[in-house]
Amino acid sequence: MTDRITENLKAGRGFIPFVTACDPDDEISLEILDLLAGRGANVIELGVPFSDPMADGVVIQRSSQRALENGVNLTRVLSLAKRFRASKDVPVVLFSYLNPLLRFGIEKLCESAKDCGIDGLLVVDAVDNEARDLREKLAEHDVSLISLVAPTTTDERLERICREAEGFIYAVSRAGVTGAAGSVSREAADLVARVRKFTTLPVAVGFGVSRREHVENIWEFADAAVVGSAIVAEIEASVGTRNAAARVKSLLDQLLPLQKAAHTHKVEGSRL
């Protein structure tokens, strides 16, 4: 399997932004994705809105709700991804809960995903056998299933998860839901060290990454930082003003060192 995701994260100091798709609307969302690509995103996580996001904190819950109120569904998310990937080669990972995917149809999703430039899928509430079934189906269509690991994950599970993993490993920085935190927990570094015993895949750290010092800190021990709620909060603050992209840009200026913007990626044959 080609692994554009792995390739794009190998160099380290990676940046993986998360946004809820089509929030606040499709056009501005596309503008934000373009901006994220321009600011050196190595992979973009595109959130599929769901009515009951049990692993998310309030910021992403509200963005999900906004998108749902605007009628966003998986079809529209895929179409946004396709439009974005028509001009940009940054790998896109769909970030979703299982039920919207089941309702859409896993087979149908597999067929659409590659066509829309989706490289991977991260399904928050699919673990073990449920993840394994999904991975087998996705593999036939050359789409990776990204695995999450948490500070509570035992070494025995880590070994199994890492053995089956593709793309990169998403390490949850702390037990909890998504959302801002004061600092990157000590647990995160310990977890990444444990993960490294079992895989050479890149490791990204997410949950609560909202400041430059968090990103710098994570780059010391992991390959990439995932930033979600901090970006989504800027989008929320812009509701009604249409200046979401400007707000996200100014957040990224604070969050990322300048050289990150100049860091471009060349991955062969990837643009749609």
Binding site for another protein (CB under 8 A): 50-55, 57, 61, 68, 73-74, 97-104, 124-130, 147-154, 157, 172, 175-177
Provide, rounded to whole angstroms, the least separation between the CB of residue 127 and another protein: 6
Provide, rounded to whole angstroms, the least separation between the CB of residue 251 and another protein: 25
Q: By C-alpha distance, which of 201, 200, 218 is closest to 209? A: 218
Cβ proximity of 131 and 170 under 8 Å: no
Q: Which CB atom, from 10 or from 160, has the smaller least distance to another protein? A: 160
45 carries an active-site annotation: yes
Whole-number Å distance between alpha carbons of 145 and 128: 12
Provide, rounded to whole angstroms, the least separation between the CB of residue 133 and another protein: 11
Q: Which CB atom, from 96 or from 270, has the smaller least distance to another protein? A: 96
Q: Which CB atom, from 16 or from 148, has the smaller least distance to another protein? A: 148
Provide, rounded to whole angstroms, the least separation between the CB of residue 234 and another protein: 22
Q: Which CB atom, from 177 or from 224, has the smaller least distance to another protein? A: 177
Q: How far, CA to CA in Å, does 231 sit from each of 104, 137, 220, 237, 261? A: 28, 32, 22, 10, 17
DSSP string of 80-99, one letter each residue: HHHHHHTT----EEEEE-HH
Whole-number Å distance between alpha carbons of 166 and 187: 23
In the three-class reduction of DSSP (H, G, I as helix; E, B as strand; rest coil), residue 144 is classed as: strand
Question: Of residues 45, 119, 223, 234, which has the active-site annotation?
Answer: 45
56 carries an active-site annotation: yes
Catalytic residues: 45, 56
